[in-house]
Amino acid sequence: MNHSSPQSILIVGSGVFGLSTAWALSKRPSFDNTDITIVDDVRGGSFPPGDSASVDSSRIVRPDYADPDYAELAALAQEEWRKQGDDELGGQGRYTESGLFLAANESTQSKMSGMGYTKSSWENATRIAGKSGLSHKIRPLETTKALQDFLGVDGHPGDWGYINELSGWANAREGMRWMYDRVKATGRVSFVDARVEELVTNGKRVVGARLSDSRVLTAEVVYVAAGAWTGSLVDLRGRVEATAQPLGYIDISEEELEVLAKQPVALNLSTGLFIIPPQSRVLKIARHSFGYLNPVLVETALPPSPSEERKPIVVSRPVTQREGGSTANTLPPDADQALRQALIDLSPVNGLESRPWKETRLCWYSDTSDGNFLADWHPGWEGLFIATGDSGHAYKFLPVIGEKLVDCMAGKGGKLGEKWKWKKEVAEDAGREIDGRFKGLVTMDGSRGGSPGLILQEELSR
């Protein structure tokens, strides 16, 4: 692929990857003459659509990674999140440095278990903090009793963990609105409100996208950053797969807000359960898990190469309110039970676990088997760049990820670019029906809880 600046780029998707890439492109002189268009299906609303993974009340912002490259990138992003001016990313309540309580349960599994991940995260976060003389802000909590005492809980928050006072959380919805406003203000990016039905090709090249109203948008480069919907447009079976993660929200009193707002983010990496401190009288509880699969027949996904015909394939695809899903925000029984257990194990306010849900939601990730993003030119098609595989941990990189993705487009991605390259090997049988049952891709980076391979509709029927 010739990596000189193209005359036009069509970005499919306005989430973290799409918006941040457009922002980065608009700031680089080498793209001054490039027409940039973002297309997404917002149904007359605001970009990005409200059911995308990046639009929510809160997301964790942490350098607490077992992988040192992500830890360093997150620390770089935090430099931007910590800027608190009204017009800066972290201002007006968009970022709160509440601290992060990270714990895990004892396990006989490999290093990449929740416990292995937690201890490696502690080491990396301590090393990074030490560069600024702040390693004292990170303290181990080495017994269940120490963990209980720190949080003020009677449940089981974990067997070993630590507190990192230098981590926190972002108001995800407002952060995305801030980014959209910055992109819009450049005057360089056109926004099209429409649903992309399929990618359009000419010979060996992807040349555009056909919309649901039959219009075709064309560009020299088509950049697909459609999150959990990417697998419906491009055959990524065995590489990327959409999974649903459960979220729950409950009303709390003013007195409870006073207590809970002073808590750190609390996350157990063995169960995947976490609670983010509230900014208002609504508390969010969630599970970062192996997720639920929704296998459906997709008719027009782009095949792996021009020599193959388009044919129907089964992929896991999001079911959301935007798409008319009647069960889009319904929690399966096991998720309901798990989120209520989180309130026992991780919240110091007694009795919250019996409170009715104010709202529930399924948040759709685009997962990879190793938790690494996929950001590379498609090896089978010219003119097609794929940026997906958020694996539930991309949001914190919002202020810096676009620059890294544009570097990858230019073939200058460095260590991160190597991590995010198109892998020759795919997860064996993942994304295929085996003996009549859909086999899902399993993310084995040590950060997941719950049970792998759950089919959403089956779990809802229990």
Quote the tokens at residue 181: 């406003």
| Domain segments of the chain as ranges | 8-461
Distances, alpha carbon 144 to alpha carbons 123, 262, 350, 401, in Å: 20, 21, 19, 36
This prediction has a pTM of 0.96
Nearest to 225 by CA among 33, 415, 38: 38
Give 327-360 pLDDT, tens digit per residue.
778 999 999 999 999 999 999 999 999 999 999 9
148 has a pLDDT exceeding 90: yes
What value, to the nearest 5°, has the Cα angle with vertex 59 and ends 36 and 393?
A: 70
Q: Are 338 and 246 in contact (CB under 8 A)?
A: yes
**Least confident stretch, 65-69, 281-285, 434-438:** 434-438
Average of per-residue pLDDT across 440-459: 92
Q: Report residue 1's pLDDT band, with 50, 70 and 90 as the boundaries.
A: very low
The arithmetic mean of pLDDT across residues 439-458, rounded, is 91
Between the CA of residue 371 and those of 39, 216, 428, what are the distances in Å?
26, 33, 16
pLDDT at 324 over 70: no
- Which pLDDT belongs to residue 326? 67
Q: How far is CA 84 from CA 20, 91, 297, in A?
A: 20, 4, 46
Q: What is the chain's length?
A: 462
Match 């447009």 to its residue by tokens: 233
pLDDT band (50, 70, 90) for residue 426:
confident
Which whole-number Å values give the CA distances from 425 to 231, 236, 239, 275, 430, in the listed order? 17, 12, 9, 36, 12
Q: Which CATH superfamily, name and number, covers 8-461?
A: FAD/NAD(P)-binding domain (3.50.50.60)
**Among the listed residues 112, 207, 119, the one whose alpha carbon sits nearest the alpha carbon of residue 161:** 119
